[in-house]
Amino acid sequence: MNCLNGEEFLESAISSVMNQTYPHWELIFYNNASVDQSKNIFLSFTDERMKYFERTSTIEIALARNDALLHASGAWIAILDVDDVWSDDKLEQQLQALEDNHLIDPKVIFTSCEVLEKNKKIYINQDFSPDTVFNDLLSLNLSVPWSSVLINKETFFSLQGFNSAYPSAHDLDFLIRCAKSNTLLHVDKNLVSIRRHKNSLSSINKNKKGNYFFEIMDVLKPYLEFEAAVLGTSKMKLSYIFLLFKNIEIIALCQTLIEASRRDFKYFFIILYQRFF
């Protein structure tokens, strides 16, 4: 659990770990130089399975996660953001799925989720096929709830962990690299609640002048030989165009449209048709 000024929802997140029906967990709490009450909230819990690490200066979250995971002693790594919560049986259900599917030797196990937004629960349909997961990640048709993942630690480090060149999209980059040569497993149950709010990292990133969209395009660039990656890139270009339109940045909008290729426009129409019809 990486924390940078996460006091608002931190107690709920930690409590959801404490309440796990599977008892053999450890919580690596990585305080990324928070200046709020996060440290005191963590220290208000007393459990020998909880380990505290603190930085004196803030680093990018991909680097922070890599550093935190060096301290993990288990064979499997779970990620939990400070504003999300697990169901009580989240780990137990995933480990049971691992046992039930040991013959396919999955290296990442993730679950479905519900999204909490303004005190409302939004349920997301998560279509998953093990035969198409690599292409589904490239096309951005598959969105893996990051607080739901369980990652084989040996596989994680064999892939050199998270790439710090992608501060916002290191999760997608890792999953693509992993799925290229490993099996992913989906537990089709809502075992995680993802909190969506204006101060969340994903919300902030998506409103940073389009940097988020360009970063994902950079993640997909090495895979443009695959049609799915071209589709995913077009989705990000279209999202950037909508952002420019929303912010009334006419010059940048016109420049982006001029630079778009015929293939981009082909996918723009496909994406819009699938979205609205």
pTM of the model: 0.86
Cα–Cα distance for residue pair 236/168, rounded to 1 Å: 14
Q: What is the DSSP secondary structure assignment for residue 266, as one 8-state letter?
A: H
The angle at the Cα of 38, spanning 34 to 40, to the nearest 5 degrees, equals 120
**For the segment 124-137, what is each residue's pLDDT rounded down to a tens digit?**
667 889 899 999 99
Decide if pLDDT at 204 tops 60: no
Per-residue pLDDT band for 118 (boundaries 50, 70, 90) equals confident
Residues 6+ apart with CB under 8 A from 31: 3, 38, 39, 42, 52, 53, 54, 55
Yes or no: say if 238 and 229 are a contact pair by the CB < 8 Å rule: no
pLDDT of residue 277: 46
**For the segment 12-43, what is each residue's pLDDT rounded down to a tens digit?**
999 999 999 999 999 999 999 999 999 999 99
**For the segment 234-259, what is each residue's pLDDT rounded down to a tens digit?**
889 888 777 766 665 666 656 665 66
Residue predicted with more confidence, 268 or 66: 66
Yes or no: say if 51 and 26 are a contact pair by the CB < 8 Å rule: yes
CA 262 distance to own-chain centroid: 31
Yes or no: say if 53 and 29 are a contact pair by the CB < 8 Å rule: yes
Mean pLDDT, residues 47-67: 96
Residues 6+ apart with CB under 8 A from 46: none
Strand partners, 230: none
Residues 6+ apart with CB under 8 A from 169: 212, 215, 216, 218, 219
Cα–Cα distance for residue pair 69/2, rounded to 1 Å: 10
- The Cα-based distances of 116 to 121, 193, 197, 210 in angstroms read 5, 7, 9, 25
Phi, psi of 135 (to 5 degrees): -70, -35
Strand partners, 112: 190
Cα–Cα distance for residue pair 127/133, rounded to 1 Å: 10
Locate 81 and state its tokens: 């953001």
Residues 6+ apart with CB under 8 A from 189: 93, 111, 112
Q: Among all chains, which residue has been given the structure tokens 């020998």?
A: 48
Strand partners, 183: 106
Cα–Cα distance for residue pair 215/259, rounded to 1 Å: 18
Per-residue pLDDT band for 87 (boundaries 50, 70, 90) equals very high
